[in-house]
Structure 1
């Protein structure tokens, strides 16, 4: 289990600062997010589920009708609202970090936790999931490798903390996050 702390550039911290989980599809954002929210006594939100709920259709349907650009516009609108909420754990979509506006929202409104996994593990986790429009290609494994190559520098630049999720159980990952957050708090920062 590898975990590192990054130097974030947050404008300010307040009590109950939201925690934003970023990382590739299949990194464990939803699963880890639910467990983290439960352990912290916070509400858990999933950006993709919030978007589906507000639009009344699935993510693949939004992609089919509006394309990726339309989906990303909607994603930013929902993210603008949700990042203002306190005391939540938010799992973002894997590509939510691509838009500079979204990067600014995440960077300045909460604690950013990058859940990192290698391309082989990501592919293993999402290979059979038909609800991933970005993987509807002739070679989904190559698509994951390419998306990871494009996005990883962004994830790393936004992250206050990075936790490796390729190995170890959900509980092991949650324990690593708990240690990071406790160390953070002991240094005088508030979560």
Structure 2
């Protein structure tokens, strides 16, 4: 098996990818990237604006370019957007360039974590229904590419971060 040096965080919105990624970055002294933030930085506008102007397809094209660019790096932690895994090509890319960690969470937790965030274009109306639909569609794809799955419900950031590090040590002999 090829040695995997990057840590890739996948999961639904509100699962803690960015928060856990930042903590891992500090604990492991690795560079952290958030694909959504990188898209906003590159375009100079927020994601909801891109969705409004270009639709989801336009956003996914931008996301694919960013993912391809970031996954060429070595020794990074990458938090992906919730829908990043929609394309098989991107799922394959993520699988080969790092250890993929699926941060799994319930719809209830997602609702509580995203309730006050108006930057989530897919949650502007009927949040519960949308999250259920996205869960049914995407959870099998997260599971498909996951090397490690960690449930984040009712867990503190430090606890999840510690679990990730311990599993990486045990399973991949990293750190």
TM-score range, shorter chain: over 0.9
Are 2:39 and 1:60 equivalent residues in the alignment? Answer: no
Task: State how far apart, in whole Å, the 2-side matches of 1:53 and 1:168 are.
Answer: 30
Q: Which has the higher helix share?
A: 2
Distance 1:79 1:87 in 2: 15
From 79, 83, 88, the equivalent of 2:76 is 88
* Post-superposition offset of 1:185: 3.4
Give how far 1:19 is off.
Answer: 0.6
Q: Name the SS of the counterpart of 2:150 in structure 1.
A: strand
The structure 1 residue matched to 2:111, chosen from 123, 142, 149, is 123
Cα distance in 1 for residues equivalent to 2:169 and 2:6 = 15
What is residue 133 of structure 1 aligned with on the other side?
121
User: Does the alignment pair 1:144 with 2:134?
Assistant: no
1:184 aligns with 2:174: no
TM-score by length of structure 1 reads: 0.88
Distance 1:166 1:56 in 2: 33
Question: Aligned partners of 2:82 and 2:140: how far apart in 1?
Answer: 13
Report what 2:148 is aligned to. 161
Shift of 1:141: 1.1
> Residue 86 of structure 2: SS of its match in structure 1?
coil
Structure 1 segments of 4+ aligned residues over 2 angstroms from their partners: none
1:119-176 deviations in Å (ceiling 9; x for gaps): 1111111022100001122x11110111011100000010000011002211111111
- What residue ranges of structure 1 are gaps of 5+ in the alignment? 1-10
Q: How does 1:87-106 map to 2 (within 5 A)?
A: 87-106=75-94
Task: Give TM-score, length-normalised by structure 2.
Answer: 0.96
In 1, the alpha carbon distance for the partners of 2:155 and 2:146 equals 21
Q: Distance in 2 between matches of 1:65 and 1:56?
A: 14
For structure 2, the 5+ residue unaligned runs are none
Matched, 1:13 2:24: no
